[in-house]
Structure 1
Amino acid sequence: IFFFRFHRSPAEEPHILLECDSSVLDSIQQHLKLYKIRRKVTISPCPELSLWAVIPGDTSSLPKCADQALLLTPDPRAEVMGWRLIAKKGADLSEIIPGSQVGDVQDYHRHRYKQGIPEGVKDLPPGVALPLESNLAFMNGISFTKGCYIGQELTARTHHMGVIRKRLLPVTFPGPLPPAGIPEGAEILTQAGKRAGKFRAGGGELGIALLRLAHLQEPLCIPLAGDRVELRATTPEWWPKGAAK
């Protein structure tokens, strides 16, 4: 979930735009309305808007080319994810960002899987994914000075102890994949048969998996239908130094 502020000063009427996984739109609206109480707050979807990811390139002139954009801001998670662009549906992207090329959503997912960036309920299943194991501390997703939120004490204690044994990591499959692909939640083993983690989600030869850091440098595989699918895990270059230790 991302929050974007549209009002520029306290004197203006507040307008907050929330970006979320479309599959949980209804549940998020219901959750927000629980806390509305009697406040004069309108909570509604914005089907007239479209969201774009501007993948890194020459971004030095982006803000100067954004006259038609309602919002053009750096992706708050990591510099490698470029910019988030929100415009009205039907807007001409070539006019907003001259020289840009429009890809498809799979290009975006491939880029973020390559960088090890989780997004949405498939990568971060509610009630299962833990903030620190999901690397949210690296992506401006956790505050260690603000409270209170569910799981705050455990998250803060784990962070300050500095012991995180599992993390979401980008993985690649160097060999051919089964026709049905890799099932979400498939168990990952070392060549010696030890449990190393679980495959979370992906597309094609790229994906993301929750892995024990102790097995990061070992050959890994996923047993499927009597066969073994090999995979390799890497540490993203944008991570802080020493994060994978």
Structure 2
Amino acid sequence: MATILRAGRIVVRFSGPDAHRLLNDVLTGPFDPQSDEAGWWALLTPQGKILAEGLAGFAEDAWWLDVSTSVAENFLKRMKMYRLRAKAEIEDLRETYRVGWSAERPQDGIVHRDARGGGLGYRVLDPLEATAGWIEGEDFVRARIAAGIAELGEDFEPETTFAHDIALDLNDGIDFDKGCYVGQEVVSRMKHRGTARRRPVIVSGLSAQAGSAVASGGRDAGTVGRVIDGTAVAVLRLDRIADPQAATVEGAPVTLTLPSWASYAFGESGDED
């Protein structure tokens, strides 16, 4: 099976004796160098809002992260600021490496399994010269939407969304056992107080575009992300969806479905916003 080019992502390589500590101390996710999985992570503001998110895997004595091109400059700037005097090298590899996806494990490249949503195939990183056979397509987006996984740049904008809103906590994107990282206090409070009202929902039967509002009972519950084949992921207010059968987008009825891995339900509400 051919590898699908993910043109909207770039590769950032972290290496050096303090690279692991830097990532572990700043980003939300667990960083296990023994794992063959690409772990989900986010860089948060001190207020807990997502600035960047992506996958990270360890190979060839370095950590390999991918991040949306839309926030790449800010991500690099902030990580270099947080580095201070740490012995870690941060390399922007957008000119020399590409990010790809494959439903089956390829033989070549830096390959890590994407375990989000029960399994999303494999993230593949390769030098530019080795990607001539990669193709453009929307297979990854279809798989991601079907799994109910929201992605920054396609489904929500930076500094608008909390980590719990995209279910980082339910897809191993937050290490609740490690010490402080940027935004940790907000994440911890939402976990222990049960205040997560917004969660990913799969919306199908769409004829509208990304950014259109989902309404339920006459109230806006959120907006849909990128639409493929009439289906999208939306980060919605669960407490505003008492009857998921009555949801509409731009006046047209749609179907709301919870991801198969979801532990939340329509109609739930937290103690506070």
What TM-score bracket applies, with the shorter chain setting the length? 0.7 to 0.9
1:98 aligns with: none
1:25 aligns with: 72
Structure 1: 5+ residue runs without aligned partners? 8-13, 95-101
1:11 aligns with: none
| Cα deviations by residue, 1:112-142 (Å, 9 ceiling, x for unpaired) | 1122111223324222111112111122111
- Closer, same or farther in 2 for the Cα pair 1:133/1:37, shift >3 Å? closer
Which of the two has higher C-alpha Rg?
1
1:54 aligns with: 102
2:27 aligns with: none
Query: 1:20 touches 1:120 (CA, 8 Å); kept in 2?
Result: no
Structure number having the greater strand percentage: 2
Distance in 2 of aligned mates of 1:233 and 1:119: 18
2:256 aligns with: 233
SS at 2:125's partner residue? Answer: strand
1:97 aligns with: none
TM-score (norm 1): 0.73
1:108 aligns with: 140
Q: Which has the higher contact order (CA 8 A, sep 6+)?
A: 2
Q: Indicate whether 1:118 and 2:150 are aligned.
A: yes
SS at 2:175's partner residue? Answer: coil
- Closer, same or farther in 2 for the Cα pair 1:188/1:124, shift >3 Å? closer
- Closer, same or farther in 2 for the Cα pair 1:187/1:92, shift >3 Å? closer
1:99 aligns with: none
Aligned-residue RMSD, C-alpha: 2.6
Query: 1:51 touches 1:86 (CA, 8 Å); kept in 2?
Result: yes
Q: Indicate whether 1:219 and 2:246 are aligned.
A: yes
Q: Indicate whether 1:188 and 2:188 are aligned.
A: no
Residue 196 of structure 1 deviates from its aligned partner by 2.8
| Cα deviations by residue, 1:40-68 (Å, 9 ceiling, x for unpaired) | 5432222222222112xxx5xx4xx62x3
Equivalent residue in structure 2 for 1:133, among 165, 170, 175: 165
2:58 aligns with: 5
2:112 aligns with: 73
Query: 2:57 touches 2:112 (CA, 8 Å); kept in 1?
Result: no
Query: 1:77 touches 1:138 (CA, 8 Å); kept in 2?
Result: no
Question: Identity, % of aligned pairs?
Answer: 23
- Closer, same or farther in 2 for the Cα pair 1:37/1:80, shift >3 Å? closer
SS at 1:111's partner residue? Answer: helix
TM-score (norm 2): 0.67
